[in-house]
Amino acid sequence: MKRFTLLLMLALAGSTLFIHQIRQARQNRSRLAELEEKLRQSEAETARQEIQNNHLQTRLQETRSQFTAKAVETEDLKQTLAKAAAAPKVAEPNPGAKLLQDPNMRAMMKKEYLHAAERTVDQVLNTNLIQQLRLSDEQTAFLKDLLKKKGATGVEMVLALMAGEDETRMAELGKTMKQEKESIEAQIKAFLGEDAYQLLERQEDSQTERSRLKDYQKKFESAGQPLSSEQENQLLLAMYDERRQFPFQYDYNDASKFDYEHLHFTEEKFNVFFQEMEQLNEKILARARDILTAEQLDRFRGLQQEQLEKSRMTIKMTQALFPTKGARR
Q: Amino acid identity, residue 94?
A: N
* Highest-pLDDT range among 100-114, 149-163, 223-237: 223-237
pTM given for the model:
0.64
At 17 the pLDDT is 40
50 pLDDT above the threshold of 80: no
Interval 234-266: pLDDT, tens: 999 999 999 999 998 877 776 666 666 566 667
What percentage of the chain has pLDDT greater than the value 70? 63
* Highest-pLDDT range among 63-72, 88-97, 297-306: 297-306
At 312 the pLDDT is 85
Higher pLDDT, 227 or 56: 227
313: helix, strand or coil: helix
pLDDT band at 314 (very low <50, low <70, confident <90, very high): confident
Higher pLDDT, 237 or 178: 237
What is the residue-wise DSSP string for 4-62? HHHHHHHHHHHHHHHHHHHHHHHHHHHHHHHHHHHHHHHHHHHHHHHHHHHHHHHHHHH
User: Using CA atoms, how far apart are residues 173 and 101, in angstroms rounded to an integer?
Assistant: 19
User: Using CA atoms, how far apart are residues 274 and 269, in angstroms rounded to an integer?
Assistant: 9
At 18 the pLDDT is 40
63 pLDDT above the threshold of 80: no
User: Using CA atoms, how far apart are residues 151 and 130, in angstroms rounded to an integer?
Assistant: 19
Mean pLDDT, to the nearest integer, of 112-137?
Answer: 92
At 75 the pLDDT is 65
Burial of 318 per CB tally in 10 Å (0-12, 13-18, 19+): middle
